[in-house]
Amino acid sequence: MLTVKNLTVAYDDTPVFTDVAVNFNAGKITGIIGPNGAGKSTLIKAMLGLIKAQSGTVLSDGHDLKQLQKQIAYVEQRKDLDLSFPISVFEVVMTGTYGKLGLFRQPGKAARDASRAALEQVDLAEFADRQIGQLSGGQLQRVFVARAIVQEAQVIILDEPFVGIDLQSETAIMAILKQWRDAGKTIIVVHHDLNKVSHYFDDLVILNHGIIDYGPVDDVYTADNIERTFSADLSAVLFSPAGGSKK
Amino acid sequence: MTSIMNFIHALGQYDFLQSALIAAIMVGVMSGIIGSFIILRGMSMMGDAISHAVLPGVAVAYMLGINVLIGASIFGILAAGLIGFVVSHSKIKTDTSIGIVFSAFYALGFILISLAESSTNLHHILFGNILAVSDTDIMTTTVILGLVILFVVFFYKELLITSFDATYAQTYGLKVHILHYALMFVLTLVTVSALQTVGIILVVAMLITPAATAFLWTDRLATMLVLSASIGAVASVVGLYFSYTLNWASGPAIVLVAAVFFGISFVISPKQALFPRLWHGTNAKKKRVIA
């Protein structure tokens, strides 16, 4: 279990959130939802140590996460990358082995085999030698999921993996997430909209400059919570009988 | 044709020309390698800044009679650190910070050189004087080339991942900032070597132009490094030939040759595909797939 305690993050004295406390269960796929600017990406970046938190700790089964950095895989948003970079799909996946290799050790046969297997798992083996810019958004997202597979991490954090991708890629990624879940890993997904929330996730965290609610999806994804976090209109659309809600 | 024969004949005859050739090749190789990382990291401006910012270091080294490398390295790293400091402690953007710091260092360099009133020829520092390369210069250049190659070989995967995806490198615990400053340090050393062949003002061209040319021809980093180093070396040798034959300043001669290589690649390389039929239409097809 991943435990976040008293986490406070501020940009230039303006707090994004204060004293956030939340648990992420192992063996569950947990979604983080909230309006734009609610601090979703900030929360996971602070957990990863990518931005400095004013206070707070993140514990993994009682151990400080800073000591366990190689146990976390991060699948970032694709838009932050230079897609013209001279690197092949296969090489990108191989970078997943770098953390465990450490300095001065080059990836060998084991790393290459693991990368090839991961590419097969996401159904992209035939694209191994392509330059990454030649892939579609969904294919590229699968490449980064393949890299996370190679990392063999216990905690996997994904930042908006389903934005702008095709159905085939979505299905392939979801299948991997479920494999990870069944292997007892902790999976955290920042999600950009309210589509398919109860379809994707086991647990849910609703964030809006602080935790609104968290727990099993069925308990948390309620008309009341959505109205409090987003708007009454949205809640009405999602949860009215005619709106086709899952609840 | 006869002038080429003359050049080759002179090479066999004059030590100074042999030294020039060796220095030109080594500088072409090292700047091609480091330059590849500079352009892939989107740091062309930084390369320009560091190369100008070493000027006060060169002046101080002459004043104190110490090795130019020491003076230049100190000021090069100082400039890189200062640029980073201003960005992280204010809302000033990187390109603005670079502009402020490098111009200030450059200006300081001019004043220090005029104060030094040494026999150092400012013109040679600025534009290079490859025909006056000494044996000591060759020695230091050799050592620096060795360092550059070792640096890239030992830290290849770290350089690759921090250039491509620094955020990811940070998440697995790589000290991204240390690598950045290590690269800045190596860049400073390369700058000082390139100072002899092309001079301070044009060092940036040796870093960027061969690397950008190589980038147009390949989709693999390793290939790009080898190609860039080769283009840098060939441009340096051809430039040296023009410099010797036509009595042009070595720096501008080398840089113009490199620019011509880039121009040719820009027109005919497969990535550009200005003339897709040259490549059997394969690239045109690829582009359509992406669209």
Provide the pLDDT for residue B196.
77
Provide the pLDDT for residue A246.
46
B266 contacts B275 by C-beta, under 8 angstroms: no
pLDDT < 50 stretches in chain B: 281, 283-291
Could you give the CA distance from residue B73 to residue B152 in angstroms, rounded to a whole number?
19
Q: Which of A201, A61, A208, A89 is nearest to A146 (CA)?
A: A89
Domains and CATH numbers, chain B: 2-290 (1.10.3470.10)
Tens-level pLDDT at each residue, chain A (247 residues):
888 888 999 887 788 888 888 999 999 999 999 988 888 989 999 988 888 888 888 888 878 877 777 788 999 888 778 999 999 999 999 999 998 888 888 888 999 999 999 999 999 999 999 999 999 999 999 999 999 999 998 999 999 999 889 999 999 999 999 999 999 999 999 998 787 888 899 999 999 888 899 999 888 888 888 888 888 888 888 887 654 444 4
Q: Give me the residue from B157, B168, B289 closest to A74, CB to CB.
A: B168
Provide the pLDDT for residue B118.
60
Could you give the CA distance from residue A187 to residue A77 in angstroms, rounded to a whole number?
16
CA end-to-end span of chain A: 28
CA end-to-end span of chain B: 48
Cβ–Cβ gap A106/B157 under 8 Å: yes
For A2-237, which CATH class?
alpha beta
For B274, the 3-state DSSP assignment is: coil
B221 secondary structure, DSSP code: H
Could you give the CA distance from residue B247 to residue B133 in angstroms, rounded to a whole number?
16
Enumerate chain A positions whose Cβ falls within 8 A of a Cβ in B: 48-50, 69-70, 72-74, 76, 80-82, 85-88, 91-92, 95, 98-99, 101, 103-104, 106-107, 131, 133-134, 151
| ipTM of this predicted structure | 0.88
Provide the pLDDT for residue B236.
94
Other CB atoms within 10 Å distance of the CB of residue A33: 26
For A206, the 3-state DSSP assignment is: strand
Nearest-Cα distance to chain B for A235, in Å, is 36
Cβ–Cβ gap A131/B219 under 8 Å: yes
Cβ–Cβ gap B40/A88 under 8 Å: no
Could you give the CA distance from residue B108 to residue B127 in angstroms, rounded to a whole number?
18
In chain A, what residues touch B154 (CB-CB under 8 Å)? 104
Residue of chain A whose Cα is closest to the Cα of B89: A12
For A215, the 3-state DSSP assignment is: strand
Nearest-Cα distance to chain B for A153, in Å, is 10
Buried/exposed B185-220: b ≥16 CB within 10 Å, e otherwise = bbbbbbbbbbbbbbbbbbbbbbbbbbbbbbbbbbbe
